[in-house]
Amino acid sequence: MPRLPPDLEGTDLRLGQKQELFGILYGYHLVWLYENGYRTRLGDVHATDGHKKDSLHYLKLAADVNLFKDGDYITSTKGHQKSGEKWESYHPLCRWGGRYNDGNHYEVMHGGR
């Protein structure tokens, strides 16, 4: 786990701080995935078209990660479970989309969602 700046350790963060937190943890998580035998291809990271302006993707707080293991594309939420649970362990604001059947979605919570 990367050492976070002290101002990013709590949960009462401003949007800009959450964006910084997401960037740090997302990069760390990609490295963790490779170290654990996964390959990745990025899905929606920052989206403007096709997403509502209050979407966590639009707010730069969410990304979709396309996972591959042993050459196979993992499409199921269950296939993302190990990755998702690891993501949630990094910080209290980290939430994995598998909790609501969107297994390849990883986010930092904002605005109660």
Is 99's pLDDT higher than 70?
yes
What is the reported pLDDT for 47?
63
Residue 7 is assigned to a structural domain of this protein? no
Which CATH number fits the domain that encloses residue 98? 3.30.1380.10
Residue 6 is assigned to a structural domain of this protein? no
Residue 94 is assigned to a structural domain of this protein? yes
Report the Cα 45 to chain-centroid distance in Å.
Answer: 9
Q: Which of 77, 72, 74 is nearest to 97 (CA)?
A: 77
Domain of residue 47 covers: 14-108
Count of C-beta atoms within a 10 Å radius of residue 30: 15
What is the reported pLDDT for 112?
74
Q: Which of 108, 17, 19, 106 is nearest to 60 (CA)?
A: 19
What is the reported pLDDT for 22?
96
Q: What is the CA radius of gyration of the chain?
A: 14
Residue 4 is assigned to a structural domain of this protein? no
Tell me the average pLDDT across 31-37. Answer: 97
Number of domains in the chain: 1
Q: What is the pLDDT of residues 48-98, one digit of tens each?
A: 665 566 688 888 899 999 999 999 999 999 999 999 999 999 999 999 999
Prediction pTM value: 0.89
Q: What distance in Å separates the CA atoms of residue 59 and residue 101, rounded to the nearest whole number? A: 21
